[in-house]
Amino acid sequence: MFGKFSFAGGVHPPHNKAYTESSEIATLPPPEKLIIPLSQHIGAPAKVAVKRNDEVKVGQMIGEAGGFVSAPVHASVSGKVLSVGNFHHPLGGMVTSVEIENDGKDEPVTFATLDKPWNEAAPGELIQLVQKAGVVGMGGASFPTHVKLQPPSEKNIDTLIINGAECEPYLTADHRLLLELTQKVLDGILIIKKILNAQRVVIGIEDNKPDAIAAVEEEIGSGAYGAIELARLATKYPQGGEKQLIEAVAKRQVPAGGLPMDCGCVVQNVGTAYAVRDAVIAGRPLYERVLTVTGPAVRKPANLLVRIGTPISYILDFCEIDMLAARKVIMGGPMMGIAQSDLDAPVIKSTSGLLGLDTVEAAIRAYPCISCGNCVKACPVNLVPATLAKYIAKNNIDAAEEWNVLDCMECGSCSFVCPSKINLVHFIKLGKFHVLAARKKKAASTK
């Protein structure tokens, strides 16, 4: 597939990918001690399956899924469980976590694999392996992958879209996966295709990654991967959003309040496809991931394969962050990432990167809205952010709900272009919180 694909709205922040886009993936030696949260996914937290002083091996399940919309959690090193308790989570708050002392042996647990080639297995068998491996969305949403691969029978999924956009500034982990591990990513894509029985498969890559596009084009051109299509995406933020990818590639609109499956599509991230391949072919649970460590305060930016549970401070020390210059450390990218208040918090399954900034724009007061319409033009989901912010500021939550505040993906495009410096995303996040709280209260009162 040739040409450039895009969507309505969006913005063009500086890419800032030059720090690491040419850096090959390196393996970070695991630390002496790791903290592995049991909540690393959307849905019910995993239930602790070990206790203090237990000996564990690499890949051993230490937290079993707490329900269907949940995912198991596995040890990323071998060693002894030091404690099970509440520890700081990189997304905020304290969550139940397992603290493990690394014995340095990296002794693995035996993980069940198929007794036949994966392409001869039934979809249910493949899903079971993905579920046992604890695979979740690696692009940031961390939705349990086995749930996403089992849409209701009335949903006819005809199109699988693989997200290789990596539109967040600074981040290059998916870029390097596509470039260095092309065949393994494509193997994972074929496994997902078989599970969904999708008729069409499209992998979308932004055109600021010409080497990754060339690598994928060469492999799919060989004919070894069937009819996988390549979509060259225009470089624009947030091109990697599910709804934006579907609009760009499939020319379909996800209905308000709906999901991609409502228009016949499933979207999976490049990293997720790689993790699916590891689970099915290599029999390896999700206990490590590739992430980008970058930014002007980092002396040695890198793309690293990191064990889940590794403290952020350990990774930053390895990359020689200048803590005297660093003003802010963000988990993820600058647009949607989360600023970290505790650098001893651990890396989790959805950690795509760590960003060290040496300058932070001083907070200034917001000026009155001038009704310029920039936020409306930039919004990729056709909302009116300025109006939503006004309703929420006046505590008119019902009106905000009527104006579809819950459809906001919190990409930050509106705040990025606002000349009055209004923190529109702050108001919208607050509004979503109040709408969901009101719905929860109403549901509880009707029981």
With 50 as the cut, is the pLDDT of residue 2 above it? no
Looking at the domain assignment, is residue 323 inside a domain?
A: no
Looking at the domain assignment, is residue 33 inside a domain?
A: no
Helix (H) or strand (E) holding 220: helix 210-221
Residue type for 39, please?
Answer: S
Please name the residues in contact with 61: beta carbons below 8 A apart, sequence gap of 6 or more: 49, 72, 73, 74, 75, 134, 285
d(CA 167, CA 114) in angstroms, rounded, equals: 36
The predicted pLDDT at position 311 comes to 98
Residues 107/280, Cβ–Cβ less than 8 Å: no
One domain for residues 132 and 275: yes
Residues 368/420, Cβ–Cβ less than 8 Å: yes
Domain boundary among 231, 247, 282: 282
**Per-residue tokens: 154:** 């009335």
Looking at the domain assignment, is residue 416 inside a domain?
A: yes
d(CA 94, CA 288) in angstroms, rounded, equals: 22
One domain for residues 12 and 130: yes
Q: What is the pLDDT of residues 310-345, one digit of tens each?
A: 999 999 999 999 999 999 999 999 999 999 999 999
Looking at the domain assignment, is residue 221 inside a domain?
A: yes
To the nearest whole percent, how much of the chain has pLDDT over 90?
A: 90
With 60 as the cut, is the pLDDT of residue 115 above it? yes
Domain boundary among 224, 249, 282: 282
With 70 as the cut, is the pLDDT of residue 3 above it? no
d(CA 10, CA 423) in angstroms, rounded, equals: 17
With 60 as the cut, is the pLDDT of residue 243 above it? yes
- Domain around 183: 4-20+113-282
The predicted pLDDT at position 100 comes to 98
Domain boundary among 235, 262, 282: 282
Q: Which candidate, 362, 356, 375, places its Cα nearest to that of 420? A: 375
Please report, for residues 40, 147, 286, the alpha-carbon distance to residue 135 in angstroms, rounded to integers and kept in the order given.
10, 10, 6
One domain for residues 138 and 267: yes
With 80 as the cut, is the pLDDT of residue 363 above it? no
Please name the residues in contact with 134: beta carbons below 8 A apart, sequence gap of 6 or more: 61, 71, 72, 73, 74, 285, 286, 349
Query: CA 266, 208, 384 angle in degrees (round to 5)?
Result: 60
Q: Tell me the mean pLDDT in the region 132-150.
A: 93
Cα 352 to its chain centre, rounded Å, is 7
Residue type for 388, please?
Answer: L
Looking at the domain assignment, is residue 314 inside a domain?
A: no
Looking at the domain assignment, is residue 422 inside a domain?
A: yes
d(CA 104, CA 79) in angstroms, rounded, equals: 8
The predicted pLDDT at position 126 comes to 97
Q: Tell me the mean pLDDT in the region 28-49.
A: 97
Q: Tell me the mean pLDDT in the region 357-366.
A: 77
Residues 337/140, Cβ–Cβ less than 8 Å: no
Residues 237/168, Cβ–Cβ less than 8 Å: yes
One domain for residues 262 and 394: no
Q: Tell me the mean pLDDT in the region 435-446.
A: 87
CATH of the domain at 229: 3.40.50.11540
Looking at the domain assignment, is residue 435 inside a domain?
A: yes
Please report, for residues 1, 45, 307, the alpha-carbon distance to residue 437 in angstroms, rounded to integers and kept in the order given.
44, 20, 35
How many other CB atoms are found less than 10 A from the CB of residue 151? 17
Torsion sign over Cα 183, 184, 185, 189: positive
Looking at the domain assignment, is residue 78 inside a domain?
A: no
Torsion sign over Cα 286, 142, 185, 112: positive
One domain for residues 278 and 378: no
One domain for residues 380 and 264: no
Domain count, the chain: 2
Long-range residue pairs from 27-30, CB within 8 A, at least 24 positions apart, any chain: 27/304, 27/305, 28/304, 28/305, 28/306, 28/307, 28/310, 28/315, 28/318, 30/76, 30/77, 30/102, 30/106, 30/307, 30/310
Long-range residue pairs from 80-87, CB within 8 A, at least 24 positions apart, any chain: 80/53, 80/54, 80/55, 80/56, 81/50, 81/51, 81/52, 81/53, 81/54, 81/55, 81/56, 82/33, 82/52, 83/52, 84/48, 84/50, 84/51, 84/52, 87/35, 87/37, 87/345, 87/346
With 60 as the cut, is the pLDDT of residue 1 above it? no
One domain for residues 122 and 266: yes
**Any bridge partners for residue 155, and if so which?**
none
One domain for residues 119 and 255: yes
Q: What is the four-CA torsion angle of 65, 67, 70, 76, rounded to 10 degrees?
A: 0
d(CA 372, CA 179) in angstroms, rounded, equals: 42
Q: What is the pLDDT of residues 250-260, one digit of tens each?
A: 999 998 888 99
To the nearest whole percent, how much of the chain has pLDDT over 70?
A: 98
One domain for residues 267 and 385: no
Residues 330/354, Cβ–Cβ less than 8 Å: yes
Residues 294/19, Cβ–Cβ less than 8 Å: yes
d(CA 385, CA 432) in angstroms, rounded, equals: 13
Q: Strand, helix or coil at 360?
A: coil
**Per-residue tokens: 100:** 């493990």
Confidence of residue 362 (pLDDT cuts 50, 70, 90): low
